[in-house]
Amino acid sequence: MILNASGCLDALTAPDVAVTLDAYVTKTVTPLPREGNEPIRIAETDIGMLNSIGLANPGIEGFLAETLPQLLDMGVSVWVSVGGFAAREYAEICARLDDQPVAAIELNVSCPNVSSPEEEVEEIVAAARASTTKTLYAKLSPAVPDIAAAACAAARAGADGLTLVNTIRGLALDERTLEPKLGPGVGGLSGPALRPIALAAVFAAYRATGLPIVGVGGVETGLHGLELIAAGASAFALGTALFADPEAPVRVREELSREASARGFATPLAAYATAHGGPPPRPLRRVA
């Protein structure tokens, strides 16, 4: 299953990209409308991209009145990314979504561009769980000492699945002035630089929880997606790659099948968790 990473596609401005995905994940919706952060909001680095968008969104009321009906008309399966600044805010939005025809809710408990929620992951997930019967995914930050512990906390609180990972905080300086390129200073690093970090997080969280995982981080090719599946993801999402190539979902899906069958897997998902239980490692080659 191929999704977009939250905040990396607007289905309303690019509907024909959205319909090439298995599910469309919305930009994070917060209780009140947010304009987002001051420009400059994006910068390219050598091996990634920094963004500081700041959760620009119409708020839950605007989302329900304007955005969601258009998304549903489009016929895409909708996952709603939910954000807030306290557990009760997440819970309020989840309650509002409970009777809506959305496929899942993804709790963004990890945006690097807004102040951290006051409560911990477990409290937020538990509050959301108590207010909706929808499928709940918790999107975690890789910037924690122990991602397995964070994953277990989400699982204990009732998450049905995990989205791993959000961006990780980074800084880029203007070469000439040596001042931050982004208006707010720091931003979230995505793209190829995030790929091994996402793989490690998926690998650890699969071992710790066995929950379904959407792998996110630097996927550009079908092989990158297959690696996340092998590490323990049952789906993956495209983020930064969508900016450069709106055809990426179609291309990556084709590559994924090809890469899986080239390795003897009947389907891409047949490679699920292969990294955890494949054949024993080959002995080291003796060179002396």
Partner 1 sequence: MPEARTRSPFRSGLRRELLDVVRVEEIGPYRLLRLRRGRLESGVPGQFFMLAPPGRLLPRPMSLCLATRTELGFLIDPIGPGTKALTGLVRGERLHALGPLGNGFRLDVERPLLVGGGIGVAPFPYLSERLGRPPAVLGFRSDAHAEAAALVPNSEVVVEPRLVTEAMHSGHDVLACGPEPMLRAVAALAPGAQLAWEAPMACGFGACYGCAVEIDGRLKRLCVAGPVLENAA
Helix-helix angle 248-262:222-231, to 10 degrees:
60
CB contact at 8 A, 25 and 158: no
Shortest distance in whole angstroms from residue 160 CB to partner 1: 27
Shortest distance in whole angstroms from residue 61 CB to partner 1: 17
* Contact set with partner 1 (CB under 8 A): 7-10, 12-17, 27, 35-36, 39-44, 47-49, 51, 53, 56, 191-192, 220-221, 240, 242-247, 251, 255
Burial of 148 (0-12, 13-18, 19+ CB in 10 A): middle
Looking at beta carbons only, is 22 or 160 nearer to partner 1? Answer: 22
Shortest distance in whole angstroms from residue 204 CB to partner 1: 26
Nearest 5°: phi and psi at 108? Answer: -85, 95
Q: Which residue numbers are catalytic?
A: 111
Looking at beta carbons only, is 81 or 209 nearer to partner 1? Answer: 81
Shortest distance in whole angstroms from residue 19 CB to partner 1: 9
